[in-house]
């Protein structure tokens, strides 16, 4: 075992100098009693930094190509916004990676919003509102329950995400009322499905809902 002649202490592990006085140690080093933690080579924030760089570089390249070749302006703006959306999505994934349900829910809302944007920008055909949003919201609410059950989470930990899914699904009323939805059946079915789930939550899981709400709003 190592020891410091100055401080009169024994030192475990293999140190080259005394942790107290910084002086020379004597004796034979022994294997460290603490497990060695190897730092992860790929840190999520490294991924984020890298993707930030790639996205900014892509934006600059797009602008340069546009300047040099007199590109179609419509296409340029569209690809620049898409690059920004990809970056936002990556940063969201990195920031919320520890909460799978939160991450997937935010991803789903984000994809829905981005799809509406792409749909409008690429000459509105309504596929986002007719298909992607109703299927997306239904799928994410089913996935939320499956993940919650799979990870043995308490219902009050994820019921709020189901409530948000339901509330967001009612926004589908707006394009229906404005007659912007070319095929209403999926939207109507998804609203009905989530409404039934919501009523079931209020009737059978009132306590979980109240507990989740009080945590969310700090009541
Ligand atoms: Zn010492």
pLDDT tens digits, residue range 166-184? 999 999 999 999 998 888 9
Confidence of residue 219 (pLDDT cuts 50, 70, 90): low
Ligand 1 mean position to 28 CA, how many Å? 16
Range of the domain at 171: 124-219
Is 27 a member of any domain? yes
Is 38 a member of any domain? no
CA distances from 72 to 75, 77, 115, 134 (A): 6, 9, 22, 33
**What's the average model confidence in pLDDT over 90-95?**
87
What token pair was written down for 119? 């749909």
Number of domains within the chain: 2
Ligand 1 mean position to 186 CA, how many Å? 74
What token pair was written down for 151? 């990870």
Q: Which residues surround ligand 1, an ion (CB under 5 A)?
A: 4, 6-7, 18, 20-21, 23
State the DSSP H helix or E strand holding residue 11, giving kind and residue range, or none if neither.
strand 9-11
Question: Residue 166: its pLDDT value, please?
Answer: 93
Is 174 a member of any domain? yes
Is 144 a member of any domain? yes
pTM, full prediction: 0.71
The model's pLDDT over 27-39, given as tens digits with 9 standing for 90+, comes to 888 877 677 777 6
């Amino acid at each position: 075992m190592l020891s410091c002649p100055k401080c009169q202490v024994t030192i475990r592990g293999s140190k080259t100098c005394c942790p107290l006085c910084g002086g020379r140690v004597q004796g034979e080093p022994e294997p460290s009693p603490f497990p060695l933690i190897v730092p992860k080579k790929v840190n999520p924030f490294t991924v984020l930094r890298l993707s930030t760089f790639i996205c900014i570089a892509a934006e600059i390249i797009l602008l340069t190509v546009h300047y040099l070749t007199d590109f179609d302006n419509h296409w340029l703006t569209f690809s620049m916004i898409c690059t920004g959306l990809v970056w936002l999505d990556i940063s969201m994934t990195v920031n919320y990676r520890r909460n799978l349900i939160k991450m997937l829910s935010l991803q789903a809302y984000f994809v829905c919003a981005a799809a509406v944007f792409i749909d409008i920008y690429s000459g509105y055909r309504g596929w986002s509102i007719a298909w992607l949003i109703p299927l997306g919201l239904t799928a994410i609410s089913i996935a939320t329950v499956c993940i919650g059950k799979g990870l043995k989470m308490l219902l009050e930990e994820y019921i709020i995400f189901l409530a948000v899914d339901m509330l967001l699904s009612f926004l589908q009323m707006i394009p229906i009322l404005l007659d912007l939805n070319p095929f209403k059946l999926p939207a109507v079915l998804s609203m009905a499905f989530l409404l039934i789930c919501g009523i079931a939550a209020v009737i059978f899981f009132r306590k979980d809902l109240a507990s989740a709400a009080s945590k969310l709003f700090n009541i």
